[in-house]
Amino acid sequence: MGIKHKPPGNLTMITVELKFFVTLAPYMPENAHAFLIEENTRVDTLIKDIGIPDDLVKLIFINGRKQDSSYPLKHGDRLGLFPPVGGG
C-alpha cells in the first residue's frame, strides 16, 4: 500500500504513523503505528492505496497541522484523517 513499483535498489522506504478517526477507523491497517511506504508517497496516493473512498476524507493533518492531500509524506510523519462532520 502506498508503494510504487520501481526497479530494485531505487526505493527508499520510510515509516509513518496513521490515525483514522470516526467512520475512517475501519480502514486503519494493523501496522498503523509504523506503516511502511515509499518516501514521498503523497497522502492522496496512500488514501487510494488503502482503499478509502475520496469522498470520505475531509480533513488531513500531518504532525498536528492541516495539510493538502498532495503533501509528500516523510519518515516519522503522523498522518491523521477525519471524515466530514455532520450535525446541526
User: Please, is 1 exposed, middle or buried when counting C-beta atoms within 10 Å of its C-beta (0-12, 13-18, 19+)?
Assistant: middle
Output the pTM of the full model.
Answer: 0.85
Q: What is the pLDDT of residues 75-84, one digit of tens each?
A: 999 999 999 9
For residue 12, CA distances in Å to 31, 38, 48, 62, 75 come to 19, 6, 20, 20, 10
Q: Taking 90 as the threshold, does the pLDDT of residue 58 lie above it? A: yes
Residue range 13-82 forms a domain whose CATH class is: alpha beta
**What percentage of the chain reaches a pLDDT higher than 70?**
88
Domains of the chain, by residue range, sit at 13-82
